[in-house]
A and B are shown apart, each in its own frame.
Chain A
Amino acid sequence: MADLQAQDYIRISATTLTPPSTRRHEDQVAKLIDTSRCIGCKACQAACMEWNDLRQDIGHFEGSYENPMDLSPSVWTLMRFNEWEDEKGKLEWLIRKDGCMHCEDPGCLKACPAPGAIVQYANGIVDFISEHCIGCEYCVKGCPFDIPRISPVDHKSYKCTLCSDRVDVGLEPACVKACPTGAIMFGSKTDMQDWAGERVADLKSRGFENAGLYDPPGVGGTHVMYVLHHADKPSIYSGLPDHPHISFLVDFWKGVVKPLSLVGIAFAAIAGFFHWVIEGPNEVQPEDEVKARELLKAAEKSP
């Protein structure tokens, strides 16, 4: 997504300053993906390709309904299919639309070293501003969901924008528009939570006692949420993380090493400077030269 938008930024990657923050009337948006209503038709995938003008190279059939087999710089959303048997041996076909979760606390943004390459708009959407991306892949390390992909052509990172360009002008994301069963809904986050509550109640009444909403608190909640029939074990939906959170390693790197390092470097430099001011240079004295000459002469005499 280019740097043309009608939304205020509330978070900007690699900045030590607070983004403009006086206006705070914006509704938080969310996309709700109801796995129990998804029929795996891939209309969302096709709509995403159409709206964002993405064309993945034609690959090979891998014996799976999943096609292509993974997200890529030109595959921003992907239907993932998993055949799962419950404890009683009953087969369930679990289909999940994978893509950026638009975390409230985005790990990609936290890890990004390029100012303004990753932003979060006031409505909660996390967007990559390609002009500022340097292709370092730190966002991949920051992401708890393994979403961003680096293009080998332009060395920039790509992922779902939640159709921020459409949302800016009051439209729903392309995938939402294309979904024929209403499995993908879009609106304010509170509305989506309410609607999810109705869906979960309905699923529970039909025997899915573990049905629930996937809005993981480990990343501050997400702006893409799932209704899962088995919310007690998200990982059966093709590896949806059970408890996603920004890796401890990334937190330590960005939260401890980064600030302490500059202090350490500055301390070393200042200590050196003041040592010079207090003690001054260590200079060779004339008597050192005299004694050295004596030493060398003595050595010459004794063969």
Chain B
Amino acid sequence: MTRPAGTLVRNTTAARINHWITAGCFILLLLSGLSMFHPMLFFLSNLFGGGQWTRAVHPWIGTVLLVSYLGLIVQFWRDNFWNRDDIAWMKAIDRVLVNQEEGVPEVGRFNAGQKFVFWSMALLVPVLFLTGLVIWEVYFGTYTSIEVQRTAVLIHSAAAIAAIIVWIIHVYAAIWVEGSVRAMTQGYVTPGWAYRHHRKWLRRLAASGSSGPTPGHDR
């Protein structure tokens, strides 16, 4: 990707590809999963070739998503550690929500909201995968008791709804904070964007002379 001069790399090409594979899987899982969850949404199963196909393909997409999300964890976990800045930022969330970011404590590459999304999914994706295996009748139907499967399907649906709500927050925040979508499609942000939303990250890049996404990393 050609990057305009003077802009900063927010996400590497590998991270972006990885992100959009995950996103594609998530949307397919959301559509197929909801079709098997609520009668009013059963029509969504037509997108997958009917109920039988939906039931058959959903766990495979989930398997791809697990692998893909593990890739995201590997690429992003270092920048998602919780620290004091996050607590300070959370205390000023009321100002962030009304687009008044002057005076809001500076944060690094990710703010507390982004870290919440990251760690929520890091918890929910494995939970969904493991409970999904238990109810993957074709291959694993005989390994557990019916009572275990009842518990698994309940946890699976509750975790899925939690994941969908986290996903809505993630998508909306990306639309709301302008420049974020381009950061994940074309991969770059302007220095002003970094100054406004992630000033500590900008300072770190400036100090190391790096163009991002992490100091010492320049591509």
Q: With an 8 A cutoff between CB atoms, is A115 at the interface?
A: yes
Judging by beta carbons under 8 Å apart, are B192 and A284 in contact?
Answer: yes
Judging by beta carbons under 8 Å apart, are A281 and B37 in contact?
Answer: no
In A251-303, the 8 Å CB interface with B consists of: 252-253, 257-258, 261-262, 264-265, 268-269, 272, 275-276, 279-286, 288-293, 295-296, 298-300
Judging by beta carbons under 8 Å apart, are A113 and B168 in contact?
Answer: no
Q: Which of A15, A249, A269, A291 contacts B154 (CB 8 A)?
A: A249
In B164-211, the 8 Å CB interface with A consists of: 164-165, 168-169, 172, 175-179, 190-197, 202-203, 206-207, 209
Q: Which of B35, B55, B99, B146 contacts A279 (CB 8 A)?
A: B99
List, in ascending order, chain B residues with CB within 8 A of A261's CB. Answer: 37-38, 157, 161
Judging by beta carbons under 8 Å apart, are A257 and B158 in contact?
Answer: yes
Q: With an 8 A cutoff between CB atoms, is B151 at the interface?
A: yes
Q: With an 8 A cutoff between CB atoms, is B52 at the interface?
A: yes
- Least Cβ–Cβ distance between B161 and chain A, in angstroms: 4
Judging by beta carbons under 8 Å apart, are A292 and B38 in contact?
Answer: no
> Quick one: given A269-B168, A284-B192, are A279 and B98 in contact (CB under 8 Å)?
yes
CA gap between A155 and B154 in the complex, in Å:
22
- Least Cβ–Cβ distance between B115 and chain A, in angstroms: 18
Judging by beta carbons under 8 Å apart, are A268 and B97 in contact?
Answer: no
- Least Cβ–Cβ distance between B58 and chain A, in angstroms: 9
List, in ascending order, chain B residues with CB within 8 A of A292's CB. Answer: 190-192, 194-195, 202
> Quick one: given A113-B42, A138-B153, A275-B97, are A295 and B195 in contact (CB under 8 Å)?
yes
Q: Which of A14, A150, A250, A282 contacts B178 (CB 8 A)?
A: A282
Interface residues of A (CB under 8 A from B): 14-16, 113-115, 132-138, 140-141, 146, 150, 152, 155, 247, 249-250, 252-253, 257-258, 261-262, 264-265, 268-269, 272, 275-276, 279-286, 288-293, 295-296, 298-300
Interface residues of B (CB under 8 A from A): 35-40, 42, 45, 50-52, 54-56, 97-99, 101, 135, 137-138, 141, 146-147, 149-151, 153-154, 157-158, 161, 164-165, 168-169, 172, 175-179, 190-197, 202-203, 206-207, 209
A-B contact pairs, 21 of them (CB 8 A): A113-B35, A115-B42, A135-B137, A150-B141, A155-B138, A253-B153, A257-B157, A261-B38, A265-B164, A265-B168, A269-B168, A272-B169, A272-B172, A276-B172, A276-B175, A276-B176, A283-B99, A284-B192, A288-B192, A288-B195, A295-B195
- A140-B146, A249-B151, A265-B168 provided; 13 other pairs, C-beta below 8 A? A133-B51, A134-B55, A141-B150, A150-B141, A247-B147, A253-B154, A261-B38, A268-B164, A280-B99, A283-B99, A283-B178, A290-B192, A295-B195
Pairs of residues from A and B, 6 with the lowest C-beta to C-beta distance, nearest first: A289-B192, A134-B51, A292-B191, A299-B206, A272-B172, A292-B195
